[in-house]
Amino acid sequence: MVCAARKDANGRSINYLRVSVTDRCNLRCFYCTPVHGLNLIPHSEILSYEEILAVVEAGLNLGINKVRVTGGEPLMRRGLIGFIEKLARLEGISEVALTTNGVNLGQMAHELKAAGLSRINISLDSLKRQAFARITGLDALDSVLEGIKIAQQAGFEPIKINTVVIGGSNEDQVEDFARLTIDKPLEVRFIEFMPVGDKISWNPGRVISAAWVRERIERSFGPLKPLQGRKPQDGPAIRFSIEGAKGTIGFINAMSGHTCADCNRLRLTADGHIRPCLFSDLEFDVKNLLRQVADREQIVALLEQAIAKKPASRTAAPCRRPMSAIGG
Ligand code: SAM
């Protein structure tokens, strides 16, 4: 069954679902962990894989054909390989992608490939061992770098590296990240720091704009070459390359630019809520439906409502849920 993607009230085709399979994580990134500690969702409130698959199957009726598995740290959840296998086999699904911190990727990359995973994004905010440990709370840079290497050997290409640039934390490393793209077919994407979840570590003074990062890279490597022709998998990134480089550099102007006009996604939180916009706390409770009636038509209708209520652009209202629960 292949259905055309449903359009929202603003003419955007919604064909992409980001699924948080857990709010647990093996890292404690200072900007992602609420200062008062994580309020973990009780296991009984986390959707089972069967429940998530029921939501994805309902989404297929509305033309949702791309799924990204995220968290929390998705590789922390038991049974993930079997789940990916089932997702990838659903008729009408064209892509199953994963976002991970990479700590356990080395052990799982080959199995993930065999299960049918299409693409991997790895979050990495520092290439220096001590700074990595300071940002994430774990001395695990070597495991992540090894995970990237093994994922490449397993055949994932291109691998995207997502780097949130935060003032006073890692802005001194943007050239190091850019340099990674010269010899390797990696796509390094610089993301602006967003006010999600914990507002205490976020403040406007720590947001480093994509323009600043670009200027710094160009000072070291010369003018960046814009890449022609946007591909759907570029998502909100605007892509460039250093002259002669094997890889590419992307900028996600989440704060300084407008990524809303092209937004094609819904999110499913680990505790079973459909969220039309990362920045808005408007949510639709699909878990109750799944656990009370489990009727496909009603789940489709709820997804339709969520699509209809997708805000035209980010609201100024604060978003209270931490990224780990929403699914970053
Ligand atoms: N554990 C997985 C990982 O590390 O990729 C998936 C979840 S993590 C919440 C997803 C992404 O959200 C990471 O790249 C993280 O850096 C990013 N993130 C978290 N809080 C953010 C914020 N306030 N602004 C920008 N990106 C953020």
Span from the CA of 248 to the centroid of ligand 1 (angstroms)? 20
Separation of alpha carbons 106 and 89, rounded Å: 24
Residue 52: other Cβ atoms inside 10 A:
25
Indicate the fold that domain 13-326 takes in CATH: TIM Barrel (3.20.20)
State if residue 70 touches ligand 1 by the CB under 6 angstroms criterion: yes
State if residue 319 touches ligand 1 by the CB under 6 angstroms criterion: no
Give the closest residue to 309 by CA, choosing from 272, 270, 281: 281
Span from the CA of 71 to the centroid of ligand 1 (angstroms)? 9
122, 142 contact by CB (below 8 A): no
Record the tokens describing residue 75, joined without a space.
């590789």
Tell me the pLDDT of the chain (328 aa) as tens digits.
678 898 999 999 999 999 999 999 999 999 988 777 778 999 999 999 999 999 999 999 999 999 999 999 999 999 999 999 999 999 999 999 999 999 999 999 999 999 999 999 999 999 999 999 999 999 999 999 999 999 999 999 989 999 999 999 999 999 999 999 999 999 999 999 998 865 667 888 999 999 999 999 999 999 999 997 766 666 788 999 999 999 999 999 888 886 788 899 999 999 999 999 998 889 999 999 999 987 999 999 999 999 999 999 887 665 777 787 787 7
Record the tokens describing residue 191, joined without a space.
């993301």
Distance between terminal CA atoms of the chain? 29
16, 267 contact by CB (below 8 A): no
Span from the CA of 328 to the centroid of ligand 1 (angstroms)? 5
Assign 3-class secondary structure to 106-127: HHHHHHHHHHCCCEEEEECCCC
Give the closest residue to 273 by CA, choosing from 50, 39, 52, 28: 52
Residues in contact with 221: Cβ distance below 8 Å, sequence separation at least 6, in sequence order: 175, 178, 179, 242, 243
Q: Whose CA is nearest to atom 4 of ligand 1?
A: 101
Specify the pLDDT at position 318: 58
Residue 307: other Cβ atoms inside 10 A:
23
222, 243 contact by CB (below 8 A): yes
pTM: 0.95
Separation of alpha carbons 291 and 151, rounded Å: 37
Q: Which atom of ligand 1 is nearest to the CA of 125?
A: 16
Determine which helix (DSSP H) or strand (DSSP E) holds 216, and give its type and residue range.
helix 210-221
Q: Whose CA is nearest to atom 19 of ligand 1?
A: 32
